[in-house]
Copies of this chain bind each other. A is one copy, B any other.
Amino acid sequence: MSSVVSADQVSPSRLRKFFAPTSVALVGATDKSRWSTSTFGNLKNFDGPVYLINPRGIDVHGTPSYKSVLDVEGEIDLAYLMLPVPAVMPVLAELAQKGTKNIVLLTAGYGEMGEEGKVREQELLDFCLANDMTLLGPNGNGYINAADGRTPYGLAITPPLVTGNVGFITQSGGLASAILAQAQARNVGISLLCAMGNETMVNNVDVLRYLVDEDDNTHVIAMFIESIRNPEEFLAIADRALAKGKPIVVLKVGRSEAGARVAKAHTGSLVGDDAVVDAAFKQHGVIRVNSLEDLCMTAGLLASLGGKPLPGRRVGFVTASGGACEIISDRSADEGLEIPDFEPETIKKIEAVVPDFASVQNPLDVTGYILVSPTLSRDCIQAAVDDPNIDFVVYSTDLPKTSPPDPEPVFAQFTATAQLLRTMSKPVIPLGSTLLDVTDFARQVQQRSDFPYVLGGIDHGITALGRALQWSEAYRARQVRGAGEAPAGHVGEALDVEGFAASRGITGRTTWAEHHAAAFLAQHGVPMVPQEVVADADAAVAAANRVGYPVVVKLAADDIEHKSDIGGVKLNLTSDADVREAFDAVVAAGHKAGGEVVGALVQPMRGAGLELLAGIVTDPAWGHVLAVGFGGVWVEVLRDTSLRVLPVERDEVLAALKSLRGAKLFEGYRGAEAADLDAVADAVHAIAKIAQGLGDKLESLEINPLLVRGGNVEALDALITWKS
């Protein structure tokens, strides 16, 4: 997709009509086009009229055609346009005359084609808006409304089209068919699949809103995302989806620098810093995956859980292979699944049924005797379910690929197992060995026996379980916070910047240096180190004696941001004489640099401690972002910084601190006092609340360092930059 224009949001009720047309016209239908052949073929089972429009009026696809949409006697509810660019606007004019409101435009050659194309795209949008038309595309394949059997979609749909409760939204038309094939191979049922194209009018956030708020057929949304045009709205919808128990699973490209560059080239829109995207998703319960396989499987698993969260991370595994147990252990460690020991009681129950050469532990290998004993697996699953240390059970099973001469015993066996699983008091999830297609026979087995969703192999299956747990935890946290509260909309009280500036005589500054910034932040709850602004050396000495030796003397100048670079900071001063000398030196340095020197700041010198860096930056797509990390090498060498988009709650700030790679440093490294994480979180949250209160005025805010010595948390320097 690639757009330069924007439309107001397209409402769910409008999209409900758009996705349920009563009649369809294929405009530009021709036997020579594979798109035309495919779209016509896809509509074979559509229960309304399908009109073919061909300027020559000849038979197309063995069916008579109309020369013009105006020749069609009945109503055209939706028009699917496969036309050369020059033909598009004239046909749209005819469709407007005809009263058609719903347009899918397959044609490419718009915003993705440079300036000329952008002009065409604007013209297109203006026309559709003026004529109350809903437009999907251009440069998009259309959609598949599987639930209702309405499939104006330009690429061949290989049967069977498996219907179900996952709604797919993809910004890549080319990948739509890959997603379709993968969903089919995983036996993931589709409610709607929508290929966005250039998003000239309808964009992915609109379709997401429709699926979350309006479409009861959709229980899980799976998205392929290149960029999000309206991040704030996206997050607000994500919050509603989380409250409702409709998981959103996203494959968002641009994780790598190269990927972001390619995505930007294809979309032409800002994609934002990927680390920010990641943070925003995590905060709002949007689940991120890295492959189309994981997209389909995670969505399939979540759909099979029916909007219910998994009860916890403690899994009991029942397999028939020691090797599988070992791979499961490794992959579970990767994905944060816990595999606790079984209770002695559980072990006793399992030992009673497995052969005596089996080693009874979690993950459990019931051994190859599974081939001999039909009840072995079931008894072990029951024992694991009954174990109080276990939240849910995963057991190894593979769906059959091909039918034996008599399939009835297979159906009977799977039916019996399915019935048994339904009686279990905890979720029991089947897991295949490796990723293999669910064949037509396997699908038949699953349908006939009402067998639950089978995770396709250990590798992707454990990933899907890890993602489902992420969602489950976000969902439960959301339930605790309460359904009434919408965090994305919550903003702190507005702060009176103008009053503060006026009181200090600050005018026309886009940057506030430390002596202003610190005072402002202290006033709003950030624990700043004590400081006094002094205008001469005598005052500096007096201040030093008040704050207590040793002290720091820093240049106070309205227009100098990086004092230390010009020799404007003198540390560890221990006598009046030193202070006097330092005052003169920093002021001289300020004058030499041509600064508007106010005087100097005097602060107590602090001893060694843990140095943090905390601040607010503005992401071009996602707005204010809180960044927090350790100072020094941690930032520069390791890039160990944790991000959260604003607004942010205190518990999220705490989570951000704990997620730092160097978080062990908080525990008190090499005899240092352990940091009071609550005090650190309070200080950092105060910064976030200030940014929320400042809103759009703020460009960036930087505290460097935020010094932590046990429970003592103090900001030693600060800088605020305003949007100009």
Residues of A that sit less than 8 Å from B by CB: 33-35, 108-110, 112-113, 117, 139, 158, 170-175, 177-178, 181-182, 185, 224, 226, 251, 253-259, 261-263, 265-266, 290-294, 319-327, 329-334, 339, 355-357, 359, 361, 363, 365, 367-368, 371-372, 398, 401-402, 433-437, 439, 457-459, 632-633, 636-638, 661-662, 664-665, 669-670
In whole Å, how far is A406's beta carbon from the nearest beta carbon of chain B?
A: 16
How distant is the Cα of A367 from the Cα of B112 in the complex, in angstroms? 12
How distant is the Cα of A632 from the Cα of B665 in the complex, in angstroms? 11
Q: If A113-B356, A323-B170, A326-B263 touch, does A185 touch B258 (CB 8 Å cutoff)? A: no
* Contact indicator A175/B333 (Cβ below 8 Å): no
How distant is the Cα of A356 from the Cα of B108 in the complex, in angstroms? 10
In whole Å, how far is A294's beta carbon from the nearest beta carbon of chain B?
A: 8
- Chain B residue numbers with a CB within 8 Å of A33 are 372
Cβ contacts A to B, 5 pairs, < 8 Å: A110-B357, A173-B323, A181-B433, A185-B436, A437-B437
- Chain B residue numbers with a CB within 8 Å of A662 are 633, 637-638
Count this chain's copies in the assembly. Answer: 2
* Contact indicator B361/A175 (Cβ below 8 Å): no
* Contact indicator B34/A175 (Cβ below 8 Å): no
Partner of A259, one of B174, B319, B333: B333
- Chain B residue numbers with a CB within 8 Å of A458 are 291-292
List the B residue with the shortest CB-CB distance to A322: B266
How distant is the Cα of A180 from the Cα of B174 in the complex, in angstroms? 32
Q: If A357-B117, A437-B436, A669-B633 touch, does A251 touch B293 (CB 8 Å cutoff)? A: no
* Contact indicator A327/B292 (Cβ below 8 Å): yes
- Chain B residue numbers with a CB within 8 Å of A262 are 322, 325-326, 329, 361, 363
- Chain B residue numbers with a CB within 8 Å of A670 are 632, 636
Q: If A333-B255, A356-B109, A637-B665 touch, does A185 touch B322 (CB 8 Å cutoff)? A: no
Other contacts beyond A182-B433, A435-B435: 11, CB < 8 A: A174-B322, A178-B324, A181-B434, A253-B323, A257-B333, A266-B325, A292-B457, A436-B437, A633-B662, A636-B664, A636-B670
Q: If A112-B359, A363-B262 touch, does A323 touch B172 (CB 8 Å cutoff)? A: yes
How distant is the Cα of A459 from the Cα of B526 in the complex, in angstroms? 46
Top 9 A-B residue pairs of the complex, sorted by shortest distance between their CB atoms:
A174-B321, A172-B323, A256-B333, A253-B326, A178-B433, A291-B459, A259-B330, A259-B329, A175-B323
List the B residue with the shortest CB-CB distance to A371: B34
Q: If A174-B323, A226-B326, A368-B173 touch, does A433 touch B292 (CB 8 Å cutoff)? A: yes
How distant is the Cα of A7 from the Cα of B640 in the complex, in angstroms? 51
* Contact indicator A324/B638 (Cβ below 8 Å): no
How distant is the Cα of A182 from the Cα of B326 in the complex, in angstroms? 18
- Chain B residue numbers with a CB within 8 Å of A669 are 633, 636-637
In whole Å, how far is A356's beta carbon from the nearest beta carbon of chain B?
A: 7
- Chain B residue numbers with a CB within 8 Å of A633 are 662, 665, 669
- Chain B residue numbers with a CB within 8 Å of A320 are 174
In whole Å, how far is A154's beta carbon from the nearest beta carbon of chain B?
A: 8
How distant is the Cα of A602 from the Cα of B137 in the complex, in angstroms? 79
* Contact indicator A355/B108 (Cβ below 8 Å): yes
How distant is the Cα of A265 from the Cα of B360 in the complex, in angstroms? 10
How distant is the Cα of A662 from the Cα of B662 in the complex, in angstroms? 13
- Chain B residue numbers with a CB within 8 Å of A324 are 172, 174-175, 178
How distant is the Cα of A325 from the Cα of B174 in the complex, in angstroms? 10
In whole Å, how far is A10's beta carbon from the nearest beta carbon of chain B?
A: 22
List the B residue with the shortest CB-CB distance to A107: B357
List the B residue with the shortest CB-CB distance to A195: B323
Q: If A357-B112, A458-B292, A637-B662 touch, does A368 touch B174 (CB 8 Å cutoff)? A: yes
- Chain B residue numbers with a CB within 8 Å of A110 are 357
- Chain B residue numbers with a CB within 8 Å of A170 are 323
- Chain B residue numbers with a CB within 8 Å of A323 are 170-175, 224, 226, 253
- Chain B residue numbers with a CB within 8 Å of A321 are 172-175, 178
With most chain B CB atoms within 10 A of its CB, the pick from A323, A326, A662 is A326
* Contact indicator B359/A266 (Cβ below 8 Å): yes
- Chain B residue numbers with a CB within 8 Å of A293 are 434-435, 457, 459
* Contact indicator B330/A256 (Cβ below 8 Å): yes
How distant is the Cα of A459 from the Cα of B294 in the complex, in angstroms? 10
List the B residue with the shortest CB-CB distance to A333: B256
List the B residue with the shortest CB-CB distance to A436: B185
How distant is the Cα of A233 from the Cα of B546 in the complex, in angstroms? 74
Q: If A371-B35, A433-B181 touch, does A401 touch B158 (CB 8 Å cutoff)? A: yes
List the B residue with the shortest CB-CB distance to A159: B402
With most chain B CB atoms within 10 A of its CB, the pick from A181, A339, A436 is A436
* Contact indicator B292/A459 (Cβ below 8 Å): yes
Partner of A661, one of B112, B355, B356, B638: B638
